[in-house]
Amino acid sequence: MVDKIVIENLSLQYSDGTESLRNVSMGIRQNAVTVLFGPAGGGKSTLLRCLNRLNDLTEVKASSGQILIDGENILDPKVDVVALRRKVGMVFARPVPLPMSIRENVIYGLELAGEKRKSKLDEAVERSLKLAAIWDEVKDRLDDPAVALSGGQQQRVCLARVLALQPEIILLDEPTSGLDPISTGKVEAALLELKKEYTVILVPHSVQQAARTADYAAFFLTGELIEYDDGRKMFTAPKQRKTEDYIMGRFG
Amino acid sequence: MMKLFARNRHTVQRIGFSLITLMAVVTVLPIVGTVIFILFKGGSAVSWEFLTGFPHDGMRAGGILPAIIGTLYLTIGTAIFSVPLGIAAAIYLAEYAKENRLTRLIRLAIINLAGIPSVVYGLFGLGLFVLFLQFGTSILAASLTLSIMTLPVIISTAEESLRSVPQSFRTVSISLGATRWQTIRRIVLKEALPGILTGVILGLERAAGETAPILFTGAAFFLPRLPGSPFDATMALPYHLFVISTQVPEMPIQIQYGTALVLLVFVLTMNVVATVIRSRARARRQW
Ligand SMILES: Nc1ncnc2c1ncn2[C@@H]1O[C@H](COP(=O)(O)OP(=O)(O)OP(=O)(O)O)[C@@H](O)[C@H]1O
Ligand SMILES: [Mg+2]
């Protein structure tokens, strides 16, 4: 199986001097959940934000290396970032429903992409809300404001909003950090369904979640990729001392 | 002992609250007082003829239509220049400009512009628009002068309300494949619009009520007809009020107060509109 994403010698330094990624190289498999975990400040979010060029919005002092998606270096300044962001969707830690109805939230990206046909949009709403396991809960109130939903429901609508664009890669940055265990379970179940079609990269909010969901797992510590392996191996028999310490809860 | 102390504290608190309430009432009194006073003194002068007629007998009789229409023209003229420019500047400052020496200079200029006495704007307008650009004493020159005066208010309130839109909306929108401009147009401006409108109305309200900036740039002492083009001078409510209060001997007092009442209603109406927009938007806001 080929790698969907290949990261080569990626380093990144924010304008305040923080070295958030140091020479990271890894390949990320298609149709699998790859988990990036590690203590706070390890550079996990930074890496995710490189993958859809969201770091373009922040002040970055220096970055080097490349990220190949389907063989194309997306860090090249000539890359069409809008197209890239449609292909690489992102779900954030805190659900951020845009100030509009549930339906409008879900079709926001599609409309910007130029889709005007109502049938297509309706179809996308139903398909993506079903995929995000939220359809039954909201199908009768699609025109209500999305903020009126509970946090867990909002987060799944945010996931649906990303799915509506039919991306190829889905980035999730601690998507369940604010959610109760039941909502968390629903989101995780949705992820398992999603990996059949998509490449999923997840920053989990706990080691337990990492162990539950990971097909592959990467351990990050202060910007360095310490260990990268099959998920099962990583959480039963880590090779690095630092990884083991972290998994056993001995630090961080 | 403890009980006594506790009761004491309640008493102190009650006195404190009463004092604060009293002060709040005291601040409202002058405003309410002014309105009632003007209404009382000028109410009898305001009639259909007063609102739709021309002044005659050396302005000692008749109506104030040219002044009302003039103020309307000046307000609209000011809006035409200052609203698009002000909003554009605010968008630039809030959404695009990086924090650097230039933007700090622009902000400093805006703050200082807001503090300049209005008569100075009048002189500036005279020099630039009336004389140098040869617009003459005209609605155009006066509107431009008023625009310069209103711009700082519009820019700073609009920038403020753009900035109050949560950053996360922008990040999410961009992450869904929106461009910066699409994000501004579809999310940020929509959410900031009530605040922007409030600032616009407050700015225009000030423009409508000012005398000094139009004194040398566009205001006419008396005109027997309505202005026909932007290059005509015009009568205006605040200037007319100034004229009939100080320049015309044996002026009937009701006409003065009647004119003041019309100006007050004009400005207060704008204020009420601003308040309604703001409270409606706040009730509807989803963040
Ligand atoms: N916009 C920024 N400007 C400057 N430094 C930043 C910025 N964002 C992150 N950093 C720094 O980069 C480092 C990595 O941050 P990052 O958010 O990627 O870590 P993380 O692994 O996601 O941590 P967490 O588990 O807390 O979310 C940290 O030291 C952080 O302080
Ligand atoms: Mg993070």
Do the Cβ atoms of A86 and B171 come within 8 Å? no
Q: Does B281 fall in a domain?
A: no
- A44 touches ligand 1 (CB under 6 Å): yes
Considering only CA atoms, which of B122, B120, B128 is closest in space to residue B217? B122
CA distances from A60 to A46, A50, A56, A64, A226 (A): 11, 11, 8, 11, 23
Say if CB A184 and CB A153 are below 8 A apart. Answer: no
Distance of CA B280 to the CA centre of its chain: 20
Do the Cβ atoms of A54 and B174 come within 8 Å? yes
Q: Helix, strand, or coil here: B13?
A: helix
Residues of A in contact with B286 (CB under 8 A): 97, 99-100, 145-147
The b-or-e profile of A130-168 (16+ CB within 10 A means b, else e) is: bbbbbbebbeeebeebbbebeebbbbbbbbbbbbbbbbb
CA distances from B171 to A92, A200, B239 (A): 10, 20, 50
B226 touching A (Cβ < 8 Å): no
Count of positions (residues) in chain A: 252
> Distance between CA A251 and CA B12 in Å, rounded?
53
Q: In this structure, how many other beta carbons lie within 10 angstroms of the beta carbon of residue B247?
A: 10
Strand stretches in chain B, DSSP E: 55-56, 61-62
Do the Cβ atoms of A99 and B177 come within 8 Å? no
pLDDT by residue for chain A (252 residues), tens only, comes to 678 999 999 999 998 888 899 999 999 999 999 999 999 999 999 999 999 999 988 888 888 999 999 999 999 999 999 999 999 999 999 999 999 999 999 999 999 999 889 999 999 999 999 988 889 999 999 999 999 998 889 999 999 999 999 999 999 999 988 788 888 888 898 888 888 889 999 999 999 999 999 999 999 999 999 999 998 888 988 888 888 889 888 764
Ligand having the closest approach to the CA of A49: 1
Q: Does B4 fall in a domain?
A: no
Q: Does B28 fall in a domain?
A: no
What chain B residue is nearest to A148 in terms of C-alpha separation? Answer: B286
pLDDT for the residue B176? 95
Residue B163 sits in which domain range? 65-236
Say if CB A29 and CB A22 are below 8 A apart. Answer: no
> Distance between CA B161 and CA B189 in Å, rounded?
9
Do the Cβ atoms of A54 and B175 come within 8 Å? yes
Do the Cβ atoms of A108 and B168 come within 8 Å? no
* Ligand 2 mean position, distance from CA A8 (Å): 21
pLDDT for the residue B175? 95
Instruction: Note the ipTM here.
Output: 0.91
Residues of B in contact with A52 (CB under 8 A): 175
Sign of CA dihedral A70, A74, A80, A83: positive
Question: Residue ranges of chain B with pLDDT lower than 50?
Answer: none
Residues of A in contact with B195 (CB under 8 A): none
DSSP character at residue A43: S
Q: In this structure, how many other beta carbons lie within 10 angstroms of the beta carbon of residue A189?
A: 11
CA angle B264, B268, B273 (to 5 degrees): 155
Please give the torsion angle defined by the CA atoms of residues A15, A17, A20 and A21, in that order, rounded to the nearest 10 degrees: 90
Considering only CA atoms, which of A129, A57, A118, A48 is closest in space to residue A90? A48
Q: Which CATH superfamily is domain A3-247 in?
A: P-loop containing nucleotide triphosphate hydrolases (3.40.50.300)
Q: Which residues contact B113 (CB under 8 A, 6 or more apart)?
A: B148, B151, B152
Q: Helix, strand, or coil here: B245?
A: helix
Which of residues 145 through 174 in chain B touch A, CB cutoff 8 A?
Answer: 166, 168-174
pLDDT for the residue A183? 84
CATH number at residue B137: 1.10.3720.10
- Domain residues of chain A, as ranges? 3-247
Long-range CB contact pairs, A177-182, < 8 A, 24+: A177/A93, A177/A94, A177/A205, A178/A93, A178/A94, A178/A95, A178/A151, A179/A151, A179/A152, A179/A155, A180/A152, A182/A152
Say how many domains are in chain B: 1
- A14 touches ligand 1 (CB under 6 Å): yes
Q: Whose CA is nearest to atom 4 of ligand 1?
A: A14
Q: Which residues contact A168 (CB under 8 A, 6 or more apart)?
A: A4, A87, A88, A198, A199
> Distance between CA B252 and CA A87 in Å, rounded?
76
